[in-house]
Structure 1
Amino acid sequence: MKFIKIPGINKRVSKLILGTMTFSPSKMDQVNSLLDSFLESGGNTLDTAHIYNDGKSEKAIGKWLKGRGNRNKVVIIDKGAHPDEYGPRVNPEAITTDLYESLDRLQTDYIDIYMLHRDNPDIPVEVIINTLNDHYNEGRIKAIGVSNWTNQRIEEANNYAKKNGLIGVSANSSNLSLAKPNEPMWPGCISVDECSLNWHEAVQMPLLSWSSQAGGFFTGRYSPNAVSDENIARVYYSEENWERYRRATELSEQIGGNTNQIALAYVLQQPFPISALIGSQNKAELYSSIKALDIHLTTDQLKWLDLRTKCRGRMGRG
């Protein structure tokens, strides 16, 4: 396993982060098997959210943590203040309510990286940063993160934090994958574009990419001539993405991995601290994703895969 460092966290964050959206206490045999295998493989970072599976994801993780007694070895990323049917919930009351409920479900007294699941630009960053710093000062969170925020809002929040001696945003979580979305998978979601890539490289802000494997777009289960999943087709079907698929397949045939591993390696090898969220449902999928860490792509190959050049350059593996 490989790792990145996120300010405020005294544990390294694994380059592969295991998503837990479908976890439930009713499936603890599967949960225990997958989480145990992830840790045995060197991974240590889990991603969950207050809204995932109506809270069952957090409860399942909490049962596993208590049963294994390994809280100090695991990095927990949790997210709160997701909008509901009434609209945005990025406010002090919702943040605090969600955080306390998440801590209770996880059976822990702190969350390593606490992220706001969405933004509400109508709420000043001063209010948000002050609220999160209150929880930081009480030890409930170790670092602040945001999901689906613009770079401009992150800069605004961090400028305020720095000016006032507070902790700011240590990590961003937006979508980055080799397949570029035609439109957001869910309302209010943000994907990394070229401008954002340049910003992350310039400031070296850690990125924790969700949907890093584009919902399985590169696994071979989809075809440009067949729509087996309307959402995948809506978001990812395009001539450009099928060309990216073709190029990833061509590289995989030369290197010896598979198309999905090449696509994941593209995400993992951006020129700034980055980890990729993976949605493995079983050990086979987990071990397949881990193999992407062994694939080395040159700068020319990264550009070629992303259709930014016609020349793929030298191929390598290491």
Structure 2
Amino acid sequence: MTAVIGMPKIRIDDSIACTKLILGSMMLKEEDMEHSAGLMDAYVAIGGNCIDTAHVYGESTARAVGLWMKERGNRGDIVIIGKGSHPYGSPRMTREFMEQDLLDTFERMQTDYVDIFMLHRDDPDKTVGYIMESMNAMLADGHCRALGVSNWTVARIEEANAYAAANGLTLLTCNSPNLSLAKPNEARWEGCVSVYADDLAWHERAQMPLLSWSSQAQGFFTGRYDRDNGDPEIRRVYYSEANWERYRKAEQLAREKGVSANDIALAYVLNQSFPVCALIGPNNVQELHSSAAALKVDLSAEEAAWLDRVDLV
């Protein structure tokens, strides 16, 4: 595939713009740098500029990203999302843990900042005032350039930004929940948040960028699963009559447009009425190029609504 130099971008703030496809990093390993570097090289070759990382993904993943950036000399060209304060089984929503997670990330990645710092989970026991004051301290210390959250409800985001605005602090500029055509029956991991119609309406009003994880529903639309078989985890989260009906519709529309059902599912995420990026987790270059095909699929608002709407008798 030739480079997609003009891959569309969305603006996170005045200084940061992310390409519509964000490369997840969980499949990258320091122990296999040939594969990891090859995948990151291929991502950049199709126009990508943003890599999603997290403290909880482990040292090997972060070190692979850091080694690649050092060898390519491209740190300034790559937007790094760094997520911290994952609970690890117990609350860690403190300024000290935020800072420690970032400092660990810097050591692993051989850098001294992340572009976007996100909290990986919410902790309702902590006030938004404490959280926003702590996150702004990370900005003041030069640890990051913008702030965001992952797996927060839009109600908490509104509350946090209202506090920040009233107290002269930098606001949260992006949200990273799960958004996919296949709607989960339950959270795949504890504390995770998926967005539905009311949340999408809020994003349309607020025009806050949404960076969706599991945007392809773990391959639900690839044809690798059927009603009687499949990974137990995928069956638990995604197997439902409503989602199989969405799969049927995606296949129908894919035939009409000459693409795959998986292209349609990813295009559903990318063609929202507000700024949106999709985090993808390709295991190889072929899967990366397959995901990139969705960038060329235009879905109208009517088509997206039709895909999502399920009227089971």
Question: What is aligned with 2:3?
Answer: none
Contact 2:242–2:310 (CA<8 Å) still a contact in 1? no
Query: Where does residue 262 of structure 2 map in the other structure?
Result: 260
1:106: Cα distance to partner? 1.2
Instruction: Give 2:204's aligned residue.
Output: 201
1:139 maps to: 142
Question: How far apart, in 2, do the equivalents of 1:73 and 1:107 lie?
Answer: 15
Q: What residue is the counterpart of 2:126 in the other structure?
A: 123
CA contact (8 A) 1:261 1:292 kept: yes
Match of 2:56 in 1: 51
Q: Tell me which residue corresponds to 1:18.
A: 23
Structure 1 vs Structure 2: percent identity of aligned residues?
51
Partner residue, 1:109: 112
Choose from 77, 82, 98 the match for 1:78.
82
Alpha-carbon distance between aligned partners in 2 of 1:137 and 1:96, rounded to the nearest angstrom = 12
Partner residue, 2:303: 301
RMSD of aligned alpha carbons? 1.2
> 1:80-229 residue pairs with structure 2 within 5 A?
80-85=84-89, 87-226=90-229, 228-229=230-231
**Residue-by-residue CA offset, 1:76-122 (whole Å, 9 max, x unaligned):** 0111111123x121111211111111111111111000100001011
Partner Cα distance (2:131, 2:52) in 1: 22
Does residue 68 (structure 1) correspond to residue 63 (structure 2)? The answer is no
Of 234, 237, 249, the match for 2:236:
234
Task: Tell me, yes or no, if the aligned pair for 2:246 and 2:310 is still in contact at 8 Å.
Answer: no
Distance (whole Å) between structure 1 residues aligned to residue 128 and residue 106 of structure 2? 24
Q: Render the CA deviation track for 1:234-289: whole Å, top value 9, x for unaligned.
A: 00000000000010001111111101000000000010000000011111101111
Q: 8 Å contact 1:173–1:208 — kept in the other structure?
A: yes
Runs of 4+ residues deviating >4 angstroms: none
2: CA distance between counterparts of 1:129 and 1:296?
38
The aligned counterpart of 2:4 is none
- Normalising by structure 2, we get a TM-score of 0.96
One-letter identity of the residue aligned with 1:79: K
Conserved 8 A contact 1:148-1:189: yes
Aligned length: 306
Q: TM-score, normalised by structure 1?
A: 0.94
* Structure 2 CA distance for aligned equivalents of residues 111 and 143 of structure 1: 9
Aligned equivalents of 2:290 and 2:123: distance in 1? Answer: 37
Q: Secondary structure at the match of 1:51?
A: helix
Provide structure 2 residue ranges, at least 5 long, that are not aligned to the other structure: 1-6
Cα pair 2:81 2:118 within 8 Å, conserved:
yes
Task: Map Cα deviations across residues 161-216 of structure 1 (whole Å, 9 max, x no partner).
Answer: 11111101110000000000000000110000111011000100110000000001
Distance across 1 between alignment mates of 2:276 and 2:311: 23
1:292: Cα distance to partner? Answer: 0.3
- Cα deviation for residue 127 of structure 1 reads 1.2
Distance 1:299 1:131 in 2: 39
